[in-house]
Amino acid sequence: METSHLSCIICLERFDVPVTITCGHTFCQKCITLHWDTKAACGLDIQCPICNYTFESRPTLKRNVSLSLLTETAAHCVETRGAIPVSRQSNTAVSPDAVCNRHMKPLVIYCKVDSKCVCYECAIRECDKHEKVLVEVEKGKREEALKKKSGEVEKHMEDTVNGITELSENIAKAKVSLQQTSQWMNAKFAQLVKVLEEKQESTLNFIEQERQTALTQAEAQLATLENRAQQLRETQGQIAALKAMPDIQFIQESRLVEVPRMTETSVNVNVNVQDKLTAVTEVLSRISKLVLEDLEKAVHATVGQDKQGSPQDKRPVLAVVPSPATPCYPAAKEGLREFHCALTFDPRTANANLQLSQGNQRAEHLTSAPRPVPAHEARFDTTWQVLCFQGFTHGQHYWEVEVSKPWAYLGVTYQGIPRKEKGKRCMVGMNELSWSLQLDERQLSAWHNGRKEAVAGLPQQHRIGMLLDYEAGTLTYYGDGQARLHAFHCAFSQELFPACWIGEGVSVTLCPP
């Protein structure tokens, strides 16, 4: 008997409870039931697995009694012969990868819970309650998913290629831009250096010409005076010779002696180069402020500094005329100590409201009535101010003062500052002869020639350091903790004296070196 006609086309095994559907094809009851359940779960039509006939409704399964008898008879004959049951391998050539290793049946079901393909027997016994679909259905879904992913990959690939192209173009543009910026910076700095060198040379040549003119004129005046001295010496010789002559001769010769006529000759050397260079010094002051303050601040903010600071920041940073708020770079205290000088207040200049003590190193504004003081041309009569004895015409000098509370003006001034007038013009920083830093509870301010500029930094400063570099034309202020607060830049031309304006109830003490 041909056992191949007694096998189910789904499980490839001998029929187990064969049932025949309306199209005439027969299957195992469990196989066709599971097949249609899987189709229904996927929303597919109910069809015959062999002829693909589509049923409008799910057919009722009825057992094929005759085929059941034939199947049982065939099984009995095989057992009698000792034959091996018909397996999937004897009926169809299926890829080993598509066969269940345990049951040797086709992997036609995909279990979503276990994420693997199984045969019908595994689906019935082990994945009975799991969500399952046909392998061909799962394959269709996976193909659609891969198609979508392929589209996404193609889109990403296109975007990536476009990005590579655009980035390559931007890199080329960036190289050109950076090169242009570098060239511009280099050309601008070189141009500035060249102009400064040229103007320095022309200015120094002008000063040399003025020097030669002034010295030539002075030497001519000196020669005139020397000739006059020679004539006077000769006249004195004649007078001395007459004294030794006899009386008659003395009388006759004395009439011949005449005093040489002398015209007035100036002994002053006219050097007014500073007046002629006023415009130049003002421009240089502004340039110094731009280069030493604003440019330094801009470069520091752009390039940045390490935590330790650059070597330039570690040394005392000398300053320039009134400059705006400057970055608070730490000043090396050991560097400033090299220039530390000892100061004392000049009692001749102290206002009657100020009392000096501690060897004239402390000045206190009395809240009581003014003390009696002798009149003196150097004294500030109406302004609460005092100068120091010591003045500076060259070199670098550093000093510190302690202020009991922030109500004071600290700075330097020329000797010619007004002392007898009423009003603010006598105050340090309120005229063209002085520079000062105002300490206030709300804000720090820099003053020169009556112009005010705000200074960055905590207003509650109790110890202020001042560094004067006369030749460089700079006055730099340092606050508590040696933080650099502000700097003035200008061309000093006269002797400078430290000065303090002191508010009521405030004391200022000059700190020893």
Residues 6+ apart with CB under 8 A from 470: 392, 393, 394, 395, 396, 397, 492, 496
pLDDT 10s digits, 171-185:
999 999 999 989 988
> Residue 297: inside a domain, yes or no?
no
Contacts of 200 (CB under 8 A, 6+ apart): none
Indicate if 255 and 311 belong to the same structural domain: no
Among 68, 92, 116, the domain-final residue is 92
Do 418 and 505 fall within a single domain? yes
Burial class (CB in 10 A: 0-12, 13-18, 19+), 212: exposed
Give residue 447's pLDDT band: very low, low, confident or very high (50, 70, 90): very high
The structure's pTM equals 0.51
Structural domain includes residue 10: yes
Residues 83 and 39 reside in one and the same domain: yes
Token pair listed for 418: 């007004």
pLDDT at 454 over 80: yes
Residue found by looking up tokens 């003002």 in the block: 282
Residues 263 and 351 in one domain: no
Alpha-carbon gap, residue 155 to 411, rounded angstroms: 71
Domains in the chain: how many in total? Answer: 3
Give the best-scoring range by mean pLDDT among 57-66, 325-334, 365-374: 365-374
On whether both 53 and 186 belong to a single domain, the answer is: no
Dist CA 476 CA 468 (whole Å): 7
pLDDT at 350: 98
Residue 411 CB: number of other CB atoms within 10 A? 25
Q: What is the distance between the alpha carbons of residues 26 and 277, in angstroms, rounded to a whole number?
A: 121
Amino acid identity, residue 5? H
The answer to whether residue 99 is domain-embedded is no
**Rounded Cα distance, 102 and 137, in Å:** 24
319 and 271 part of one domain: no
**Length of the chain as a residue count:** 513
Query: Helix (H, G, I), strand (E, B), or coil: what is residue 282?
Result: helix
Cα distance between residue 109 and residue 31, in whole Å: 12
DSSP string, 62-99: EE-HHHHHHHHHHHHHHHHHTPPPP-HHHH----GGGB
Residues 350 and 466 in one domain: yes
* pLDDT for position 282: 81
* Residues 310 and 250 both lie in one domain: no
Query: Residue 481 — very low, low, confident or very high, per pLDDT cuts 50/70/90?
Result: confident
| Residue 299 belongs to some domain of the structure | no
Dump pLDDT digits (tens) for 78-131. Answer: 555 544 444 433 344 446 568 888 888 888 899 999 999 998 888 888 888 899
pLDDT at residue 422 tops 60:
yes
- 337: its two tokens: 């100590």
414 within some domain = yes
291-305 per-position pLDDT tens digit: 877 887 788 788 865
309 and 241 part of one domain: no
Distances, alpha carbon 236 to alpha carbons 227, 229, 230, 233, 240, in Å: 14, 10, 10, 5, 6
Do residues 327 and 470 both lie within one domain?
yes
Range of the domain at 373: 305-510
On whether residue 19 sits in a domain, the answer given is: yes
Which residue pairs from 53-61 have beta carbons closer than 8 angstroms and sit at least 24 positions apart in sequence? Answer: 53/23, 55/21, 55/22, 59/21, 59/22, 61/19, 61/21, 61/29, 61/32, 61/33
- 125: in domain: no
Q: Does 120 reside within a domain?
A: no
Choose the final residue of a domain: 237, 258, 276.
276
Same-domain status, 340 and 405: yes
Same domain, 264 and 364: no
